[in-house]
Structure 1
Amino acid sequence: MTTSIRDAARELTGGSLTALLSPGVRVLGLGEPTHGVEAFLEVRNEIFRHLVEHEGYRSIALESDCLAGLAADAYAGGGAGALDEAMSRGFSHGFGASAANRELLSWMRAYNERSPSHDRLRFYGFDAPLEPAGPAGPRPVLTALHDYLSAHLDLPVTRETLDGLLGPEEPWTDPAALTDPARSVGGGPEVKELRLIADDLGALLTAHAPHLTAATSPDDWWRADLYARTAAGLLRYHAGMADPSSARLGRLMSQRDAMMAGNLDAVVRREARRGPTLAFAHNRHLQRDKSHLWFANVPIQWWSAGAILATRLGDAYAFAAATFGARGADVPAPGTLEGILSALPHARAVVDPARLVAALGEKPAPRVPVDHTYLALDPATVHQADAIVFLKEI
Structure 2
Amino acid sequence: MFLNASTPRRGMCVSRMWAMLLHTYFKPDPDMPVLNSVPSNTRPALNTIAGPLGLKLANECRKGWGQLIWRQRRTSLAFLLATSLLVGMSGLSQAQALSHPSPSTPTHALTTLAASHSTQEWAFVDTLVAGKKLVLLGESGHGVQQSLEARNRLFEYLVQTHGFTTIALETGFEDGMEVNEYVNGARSLDDTLVAKVFSFSAPRSWDANRQLIEWMRQHNARVGPAKAVRFYGIEMLGNARYLNGADRSPARRSADAALAYLHQVDPGAGKAWQQRMEPLLAALVQQRYADISSVDRESMTLALADLVKLFERQKNAWTGLSSFQRFQRAYRNALNARNLDTDLRSNGWWAGADPGNRQRNLDMRDASMADNVKWVLDQEGARGRVLVFSAFKHAVRVPRTSHRASDRGFIPMGQQLHTTFKHNMAIIGMIAAREAREFYTDDGLAAFINAGSADVFAVNFRELAGKPDASNWWQTSCTFGDCQQALTSAADAVIFVKTPQAALSATTGRGN
For this structure pair, what is the TM-score category when the shorter chain's length is used for normalisation?
Answer: 0.7 to 0.9
Question: Structure 1 residues 222-231 or 125-134, which shifts more?
Answer: 125-134
Percentage identity across aligned positions? 23
Cα distance in 2 for residues equivalent to 1:237 and 1:101? 28
Matched, 1:283 2:389: no
Give the CA deviation at 1:354. Answer: 5.2
**Contact in 2 for aligned 1:52/1:58 (Cα 8 Å):** yes
The superposition leaves residues 306-330 of structure 1 with CA deviations (integer Å, 9 ceiling, x where unpaired) of 2112211221221111113369xxx
**Contact in 2 for aligned 1:59/1:121 (Cα 8 Å):** yes
Distance 1:123 1:249, change over 3 A: farther
Matched, 1:250 2:360: yes
**Contact in 1 for aligned 2:441/2:478 (Cα 8 Å):** no
Partner of 1:81: 188
Distance 1:283 1:299, change over 3 A: same
Higher relative contact order (CA 8 A, sep 6+): 1
Amino acid corresponding to residue 359 of structure 1 in structure 2: D
Q: More strand by proportion, 1 or 2?
A: 1
Cα distance in 2 for residues equivalent to 1:158 and 1:75? 27
- Aligned counterpart in structure 1 of residue 221 of structure 2, from 96, 99, 113: 113
Matched, 1:40 2:147: yes
Amino acid corresponding to residue 279 of structure 1 in structure 2: V
Partner of 2:107: 9
The superposition leaves residues 250-296 of structure 1 with CA deviations (integer Å, 9 ceiling, x where unpaired) of 31x2111111112111111111234211111110111111221224x
Query: SS where residue 92 of structure 1 aligns?
Result: helix
Question: Structure 1 residues 221-230 or 41-50, which shifts more?
Answer: 221-230
Matched, 1:62 2:174: no
Partner of 1:372: none
Cα distance in 2 for residues equivalent to 1:9 and 1:79? 42
Cα distance in 2 for residues equivalent to 1:7 and 1:321? 17
**Contact in 1 for aligned 2:136/2:395 (Cα 8 Å):** yes
Distance 1:106 1:377, change over 3 A: farther
Matched, 1:229 2:352: no
The superposition leaves residues 123-145 of structure 1 with CA deviations (integer Å, 9 ceiling, x where unpaired) of 11112214223365664433543
Matched, 1:29 2:139: no
- Aligned counterpart in structure 2 of residue 382 of structure 1, from 487, 502, 511: 487
Query: SS where residue 172 of structure 1 aligns?
Result: helix
Query: SS where residue 283 of structure 2 aligns?
Result: coil
**Contact in 2 for aligned 1:294/1:300 (Cα 8 Å):** no
**Contact in 2 for aligned 1:72/1:91 (Cα 8 Å):** no
Query: SS where residue 258 of structure 2 aligns?
Result: helix
Cα distance in 2 for residues equivalent to 1:324 and 1:148? 43
Amino acid corresponding to residue 6 of structure 1 in structure 2: S
Partner of 1:216: 322
Give the CA deviation at 1:114. Answer: 1.4
**Contact in 2 for aligned 1:136/1:234 (Cα 8 Å):** no
Cα distance in 1 for residues equivalent to 2:378 and 2:261? 21
**Contact in 1 for aligned 2:174/2:253 (Cα 8 Å):** no
Query: SS where residue 275 of structure 1 aligns?
Result: coil
- Aligned counterpart in structure 1 of residue 404 of structure 2, from 294, 304, 308: 294
Matched, 1:313 2:421: yes
Give the CA deviation at 1:197. Answer: 3.1
**Contact in 2 for aligned 1:59/1:276 (Cα 8 Å):** yes
Distance 1:197 1:48, change over 3 A: same
Give the CA deviation at 1:211. Answer: 3.5
Distance 1:248 1:201, change over 3 A: farther
- Aligned counterpart in structure 2 of residue 125 of structure 1, from 216, 230, 233: 233
Amino acid corresponding to residue 197 of structure 1 in structure 2: A
Query: SS where residue 72 of structure 1 aligns?
Result: helix
Question: Structure 1 residues 230-239 or 352-361, which shifts more?
Answer: 352-361
The superposition leaves residues 84-135 of structure 1 with CA deviations (integer Å, 9 ceiling, x where unpaired) of 3421455412265111001101111111111221221111111221422336
Cα distance in 1 for residues equivalent to 2:166 and 2:107? 28
Distance 1:18 1:355, change over 3 A: closer
Give the CA deviation at 1:167. Answer: 1.0
Q: More helix by proportion, 1 or 2?
A: 2
Distance 1:171 1:195, change over 3 A: closer
Gaps of 5+ in 1: 368-374
**Contact in 2 for aligned 1:364/1:379 (Cα 8 Å):** no
Using structure 1 for the length normalisation, give the TM-score: 0.81
Matched, 1:391 2:489: no
Using structure 2 for the length normalisation, give the TM-score: 0.64
Give the CA deviation at 1:191. Answer: 3.0
Give the CA deviation at 1:333. Answer: 10
Partner of 1:272: 381
Amino acid corresponding to residue 282 of structure 1 in structure 2: A
- Aligned counterpart in structure 1 of residue 156 of structure 2, from 39, 42, 49: 49
**Contact in 1 for aligned 2:138/2:428 (Cα 8 Å):** yes
Matched, 1:200 2:200: no
Amino acid corresponding to residue 127 of structure 1 in structure 2: E
- Aligned counterpart in structure 1 of residue 295 of structure 2, from 189, 195, 200: 189
Cα distance in 2 for residues equivalent to 1:98 and 1:154? 39
Give the CA deviation at 1:217. Answer: 1.0
- Aligned counterpart in structure 2 of residue 340 of structure 1, from 448, 453, 477: 448
Provide the alpha-carbon RMSD of the alignment: 3.5
Cα distance in 2 for residues equivalent to 1:84 and 1:326? 30
Gaps of 5+ in 2: 1-96, 111-120, 501-512
Cα distance in 2 for residues equivalent to 1:65 and 1:147? 17
Cα distance in 1 for residues equivalent to 2:184 and 2:277? 37
Query: SS where residue 20 of structure 1 aligns?
Result: helix
Give the CA deviation at 1:57. Answer: 0.6
The superposition leaves residues 154-203 of structure 1 with CA deviations (integer Å, 9 ceiling, x where unpaired) of 99x774465345416553135755xxx3x2x2x62233233233223323
Amino acid corresponding to residue 10 of structure 1 in structure 2: H
Partner of 1:370: none
Matched, 1:171 2:171: no
Amino acid corresponding to residue 261 of structure 2 in structure 1: Y
Query: SS where residue 426 of structure 2 aligns?
Result: strand
Cα distance in 1 for residues equivalent to 2:255 and 2:231? 23
Give the CA deviation at 1:355. Answer: 5.1
Give the CA deviation at 1:205. Answer: 2.5
Matched, 1:259 2:368: yes
Distance 1:143 1:281, change over 3 A: closer
Cα distance in 1 for residues equivalent to 2:251 and 2:196? 18
**Contact in 1 for aligned 2:145/2:208 (Cα 8 Å):** yes
